[in-house]
Structure 1
């Protein structure tokens, strides 16, 4: 599991360890696939399929493939932005011809075939992918076999020191030094201000994609110190994508590498103590990170308060922002890490006033202050759930009418 160039989550599947057909319970396989994808379908995602390893011994029947395609309803297909098939064979080409009448033109455009693993680098953060060793060996064999036809080289930006006006890919300290000591980075403040004014009730805010070309153009303008007016683009999802991109391109995650293992332990904490544990973990953050995090989470809490309109409750926001706020110093977060990372993020959003109140009461700068006090328990939901939680909150933002019924924990 990793990310593509736009920060969308990437799910990988491989055939190389699939058991023989007579040992394979195809119904259970389908349930496993759906269970895995359910962790991602609340936001845009990409699938990488490693075809190597499929043989006559473990190949499912055409009837099963047809029924499986029908099982994956609109909720799976809508958020899927790309399906990358690596090491395709003639079997796949025949299969695509057979299934063409069943596959919509829109879905067919999402499928891309790659002959070599290196071709993925153009579209994905390849070093974050977990590629089975069997696939790596097969890819090397193909390279040796077709040595006269090397794959196209991956494009990488030339190394250079950051511009004085650089906004993306530089540290919070760099931004503070270049902006007269301002703690909140200009890009973050601009996107939050615009979204707060014009996007709080936009359905699917932060879930829907924006034009890749436009996002890169806005990044370029910011990095060159040129003015950006989001009204000129006529798409509220542009500033939403820019905000997520800014967080992803920080050299160190906003929650810091040091907090990663502590956050993974949140699921082992007793329910009634999880909010307190979140506060304790945040106490170890550098003051600057804490201030920026408080500003961001305060805004996301506002977004969640409008979920009756935007459909983005704290659970769905956590699925989008979890891996944008924290990731390990080496490699990518494992699938098992998603549950605690998203749970921690959901707690921050849902219980914003309680999580951030104690430190701000001591004078640390942030997005605002709130009355201290801990009421209710932690969240137990995930990306596949509705994310509604029990217990009232004490938000630091102006209170709004509750928009969702709450469920017991």
Structure 2
């Protein structure tokens, strides 16, 4: 049975060309990417871009934290957290600490997507005075949300949950246990958690 594809979101990728092209370019081999929804299509395109740009230091959204830190340590000065996190945190500290609704009010979705794409291409966009602090906060939240494993790894979830439950019974013991659990995190996770909390 043939599926009706008239209203299916499509995007054409041109092999060996300048990236995405419209249908009028027939000189290159074309690949047609179809999806059930626009959001599925955008996710596919982002995933393909991540794979293409990852060897060049891009593709950091959705990349494991240790992979990002490993690559960044080879390409420049030793850092404690990814460049994206440093840039966002620095901008937020400078322009957003008195901003009402910071991390609650959404940023400009199109600008967040543009910044995400730029970082995924390995670029380091500059946030200037015209950049909305909510957009930068949304970008930082998106980066953290798209980590394949949370800052507190899945393997540590039960132990951290136990600390929270212990807090209502024995606050002092809970703090000691929580400190022990935080120190047992993988180093890159510990560094990111410490940096964000600071």
Work out whether the TM-score is over 0.5.
Answer: yes
Pair 1:206-2:103 in alignment: yes
1:170 — aligned with what?
A: 63
The alpha carbon displacement at 1:170 in A equals 0.6
SS in 2 for 1:289: helix
Q: Counterparts of 2:90 and 2:161 in 1: how far apart (Å)?
A: 32
CA-to-aligned-CA distance 1:287-335 (integer Å, 9 cap, x gap): 121111111111xxxxxxxxxxxxxxxxxxxxxxxxxxxxxxxxxxxxx
String of CA shifts for 1:197-218, please: whole Å, max 9, x gaps. Answer: 1111111111111121111111
Report whether the alignment pairs 1:290 with 2:190. yes
CA contact (8 A) 1:162 1:170 kept: no
Matches within 5 A, 1:146-225: 153-154=36-37, 155-156=40-41, 157-158=44-45, 159-160=47-48, 161=51, 163=53, 164=56, 165-180=58-73, 181-225=78-122
Provide the C-alpha distance between the structure 1 equivalents of 2:99 and 2:190, rounded to a whole number of angstroms: 28
Corresponding residue for residue 252 of structure 1: 149
Do structure 1's residue 277 and structure 2's residue 174 form an aligned pair? no
Instruction: Give how far 1:272 is off.
Output: 2.9
SS at structure 2 position matched to 1:227: coil
1:283 deviation in Å? Answer: 2.1
Shift of 1:278: 1.4
Aligned CA distance change for structure 1 residues 247 and 183 (closer, same or farther; 3 Å): same
Q: How far, CA to CA, are the matches of 2:154 and 2:134 in structure 1?
A: 29
In 2, Cα distance between the equivalents of 1:206 and 1:177?
28
CA distance in 2, matches of 1:167, 1:267: 31
- How far the C-alpha of 1:177 sits from its partner, in A, is 2.3
SS at match of 1:278: helix
Distance 1:177 1:221 in 2: 20
RMSD across aligned C-alpha pairs, in angstroms?
Answer: 1.9
Deviation at 1:194, TM superposition (A): 0.7
Shift in Å at residue 247 of structure 1? 0.5
Residue in 1 that maps onto 2:137 = 240
Question: How far apart are the structure 2 equivalents of 1:236 and 1:223?
Answer: 20
Q: Which structure 2 residues correspond to residues 18-29 of structure 1 after superposition, within 5 A?
A: none
Tell whether the 8 Å contact from 2:118 to 2:125 is kept in structure 1 after alignment: yes
**Normalised TM-score (structure 2):** 0.67
TM-score normalised by length of structure 1: 0.34
Matched residues in 1 for 2:187 and 2:122: separation? 26
- Structure 1 gaps of 5+ residues are 1-151, 299-409
Deviation at 1:193, TM superposition (A): 0.7
**Residues 254, 211 of structure 1: CA spacing in aligned structure 2 closer, same or farther, 3 A cutoff?**
same
Structure 1 residue ranges, 4+ long, deviating more than 3 angstroms after superposition: none
Give me the whole-angstrom Cα distance separating, in 2, the residues matched to 1:287 and 1:177.
Answer: 12
Following superposition, the deviation at residue 162 of structure 1 comes to 5.2
Q: Is the 8 A contact 1:230 1:238 kept in 2?
A: no
